[in-house]
Amino acid sequence: MLLVREIVVILFIKNIANCEKPFKSVPVIVKSYENDTVLLPCYLEGAESKLRVRWYKDSTLLGDSEDAHHHLPPRVRMHANYSLQVDTLGSEDTADYTCEVVRPEPWGPIRQTHSIEVQYSPTVRTIPEDGFLEVRKGEFVDIGCETTGTPEPIVDWRKNGEPMALLDHRSRIKFRAEHRLLAGVYECTANNGVGSPIRAAIRVVIHDAPVVTAERTFVHTAVGLRAALIAKVEFAIPPARISWYRDGRPVNTDERVLIIAQENVHQLIFRSVRMTDLGNYTFRAENKLGMADISFKLTGIPNTPSFKVDPALNKATSTSFTLIWEVDSYSTIIEYILWLRQYHGRHVNTEPDSFTTAPTANFWSKIVVPGDSRDGPIHSAIYVVRGLTPSTVYEAIVTARNRFGWSKQSAVLHFATEPGVGEIKPATIDDTDITPYLEDLEPETYNVSQAQIFEFIDDSKGTGTHETPYLPGMLSFTLIIIIFSSS
């Protein structure tokens, strides 16, 4: 007696062309599991007489009914009704099985083909096998997840937990390690609907020269204060050697000048700055693939001044405008220089071509504004520019000087004067009532050194109103300095 333990049969009309009329059985695809038994039919319509039947596995002859089981391999049997039974299925049994009925002359043989698919849950083997790949920047990365399983598993990838936008379900991923950010954990998932999906991961490590950053490279200080130069090593594989230099020589440390490292943050600390500490410093991180430098300037010069935009304080008339600015300096501000000129840029006119027509003289005027006598650190000034032209847009830049030197230039402030008395505002130009705004450009792009300069130095030291000498083509200015000091 035959015990057919479990037969999982899923019937499909596999191939109509194969299903010739005389067959009573229909072609089937049997999806089954390991160790199961499968029975494949081979019945002819109204066949009572004895037939001669051969079974083939793919194109290999398995057995012949006239040849009494002679060719049948282990685990395979042909029954008296010509059904083929395969026991204890294994992966090697996945194949097409063809039953061939040999008929007497003049008829040729007829055939019917079935399939067995022994289903296996997926397995994954990573490439490289240990799931770890280390390359130098620029080298080739070749990783993969080789899968087994029937049906063939579908492979999906994630990098550092995020799904990767690949166009197909490839098992191999190959790329050039062009950038350190390509490093990470590449995880594959293999799924074929049989059992649970299988995951595996490959960690890719890319060696590269260090990357260092600093939030502040221009460090403003004063004698007697504590100051710190801070650099961050964002990346270093292999680990970097760290050093601080001053003028090309390693910084000498003692109980006043310290080097501190916490995780990837490196500090050069001056507990109490001396005059001789001011200067240029370099932080260097170096490994065998390269080095990264960051230059610092420990300086007493003022920070970059900035104009304040405040509608309540930026008072405009037809001929004057009130400017306000602020600067950080630990030392007394000796003077400011305010650069001013009419603005003929893209904002002046809404007519597309109008500003190209008038290359009018557009020189910077230089106004020296006395500083204050406070120690700061925050110094503020208010200055009323007078003698301006009504309905005109101007731009301004300010720099500050203390005993250590000149600050960098501020961002550019744009402002406009009001229309004159009885003047009708030009309908097409309404930019003249623009609210003041600060331009986002690097002020260095304004080549002040190249601009023609009209100089006027106010020597009244900021006391009250001052009559300015007449300068041809120049504005006259009235100076009011108001000094604030915080702390």
Ligand X SMILES: *[C@@H]1O[C@H](CO)[C@@H](O)[C@H](O)[C@H]1NC(C)=O
Could you give the CA distance from residue 445 to residue 318 in angstroms, rounded to a whole number?
A: 29
Among residues 19, 52, 83, 223, the one that binds ligand X under rule CB under 6 A: 83
Q: Does 34 bind ligand X (CB under 6 A)?
A: yes
296 versus 325: smaller Cβ distance to ligand X: 296
Could you give the CA distance from residue 170 to residue 166 in angstroms, rounded to a whole number?
A: 8
**Quick check: helix, strand or coil at residue 294?**
strand
CA dihedral 386, 388, 392, 397 (to 10 degrees): -60
Which of 99-107, 364-372, 392-400, 445-453 is the region at the interface with ligand X (rule: CB under 6 A)? 445-453
Q: Does 449 bind ligand X (CB under 6 A)?
A: yes
Smallest separation, CB 450 to ligand X (Å): 4
Planar angle of CA 376, 380, 382, nearest 5 degrees: 155
Q: Does 11 bind ligand X (CB under 6 A)?
A: no
283 versus 415: smaller Cβ distance to ligand X: 283
Among residues 5, 69, 75, 79, the one that binds ligand X under rule CB under 6 A: 79
Taking CB under 6 A as the rule, which mask of x and - marks residues 184-223 in contact with ligand X?
Answer: ----------------------------------------
Could you give the CA distance from residue 345 to residue 445 in angstroms, rounded to a whole number?
A: 14
157 versus 404: smaller Cβ distance to ligand X: 404
**Quick check: helix, strand or coil at residue 295?**
strand
How many C-beta atoms lie closer than 10 Å to residue 278's C-beta?
Answer: 19
Among residues 49, 59, 81, 276, the one that binds ligand X under rule CB under 6 A: 81
142 versus 442: smaller Cβ distance to ligand X: 442
Burial class (CB in 10 A: 0-12, 13-18, 19+), 19: middle
196 versus 450: smaller Cβ distance to ligand X: 450
Among residues 49, 360, 450, 487, the one that binds ligand X under rule CB under 6 A: 450
Q: Does 35 bind ligand X (CB under 6 A)?
A: yes
Strand ranges inside 16-139, DSSP E: 29-33, 38-40, 52-57, 60-64, 76-78, 84-86, 95-102, 110-127, 132-136
245 versus 456: smaller Cβ distance to ligand X: 245
Residue 283 in contact with residue 293, Cβ under 8 Å?
A: yes
Binding site for ligand X (CB under 6 A): 2, 33-35, 79, 81, 83, 279-280, 447, 449-450
